[in-house]
Each structure stands twice: as C-alpha cells, then as structure tokens.
Amino acid sequence: MKHPKMGEIANEFASSFSSFEYALKASGCCSSRRMYDRDIAQVDWSEFMRRHAGAVQLLDQLRKDPVASYIVTNPPRYRTLNKLGEFGWDEPEQITTMSDLCNAVKRARNNLFHGDKANWDASRDDKLLRASIKVIDCLLELAPEVKQHFEIGIMLFCSNEQEATVEKWASVELH
C-alpha cells in the first residue's frame, strides 16, 4: 500500500536503501553481533568506507550537489522519548564526516520506518529522502562490485515474479 502523503519517493527510498544494504552484505561489508544465542548478520557501513577510500572525499562533492546538500545541511532529527513517555525531536549534530553523513542516511531510514506517521513534513521529508537516495547513488559509483549486487537487489525487490532468485538475476549482464 502506498502512503497517500509520502508518495513514490518513500517507495523509491525504501527500495534503494534496502537494496544498498543487501549489496553491502552480499559484497562482504557485514559483521555479526551476538544476540538471542545466535550470531546475527548486520550491515557494516564502516567496512564499506574502509574498502573504498574515495568515500571519505565524497562529502565535499555532496555538499555542492543541489539534491544531496540538503541532508548535509539539514540532517534528520532524532526521535526522542522523555521520562513522561512523550515523544519529541532532537536536533542532530552538524555533519562533518562521511561517517556522519552515512549515519544521517540511516536515520532517514529509521525515521521513515519507525518515526511519526501522523506528522509527515512534506517540505522537509521529501527532500531528505531524495538527498539520501543521491548519497547512496554516489556511494555506488565508488564500488562497482557493490553496485552490481545493488542492481540485482533492485531487480529482486521490484520483481513481480514469484520465482525470482539471485541465481536467475546474477546471470543478467549489468552495466
């Protein structure tokens, strides 16, 4: 079901973000955390940054980009809960590193999926999601192997076929 206020951008961001995290795991940018007596796989954005040194210099480029600069100068706020059980918002720190920017993209995801649904701020949230997509796109340009997994993830995510498999899509030549 499509949210009437969020429109297509929320769907585009959800598919882009989830496919990017799938691609990170598929390319080995993951780690495990012990939880519930199991080693739970989790995405490791820091590993991506270590493997792709060019990502560190990407922040200056993104500051100048008319779409991506929005998340750099207006990062997503933190959802808070006070001692009385009331929800609120806290302003984030200024973005000074690519790690900060990646955390802002993840916070945009968290706010979309877990945040306040009743108070969608179309003037702000639409721009944050578009900027987040631009950041992901720029990160993908640095890493062809991650981009290939991303494109497979997008095909699987958007496929209407019930029998879609990684093996089927892996045989598709990607550009």
Select the more confidently predicted residue: 167 or 33. Answer: 33
The residue ranges of every structural domain in the chain are 7-170
Q: pLDDT tens digits, residue range 40-99?
A: 889 999 999 999 988 888 999 999 999 999 999 999 999 888 999 998 889 999 999 999
**Spatial separation of the C-alpha atoms in residues 74 and 32, rounded to whole Å:** 32
Written as one string, the DSSP assignment of 94-132 is PP-SHHHHHHHHHHHHHHHHHS-STT--HHHHHHHHHHH
Greatest extent of the chain over all pairs of C-alpha atoms, in Å: 55
Token representation of residue 137:
């796109």
Beta strand extents in the chain (DSSP E only)? 30-35, 38-43, 78-81, 87-90
Residues in the chain: 175
**Spatial separation of the C-alpha atoms in residues 142 and 99, rounded to whole Å:** 15
Token representation of residue 163:
């029998």
Select the more confidently predicted residue: 114 or 60. Answer: 60
pLDDT in the model for residue 162: 45
133: number of Cβ within 10 Å: 22
pLDDT in the model for residue 112: 87
pLDDT in the model for residue 5: 57
Q: What is the mean pLDDT of residues 88-115?
A: 92
Token representation of residue 47:
């590993």
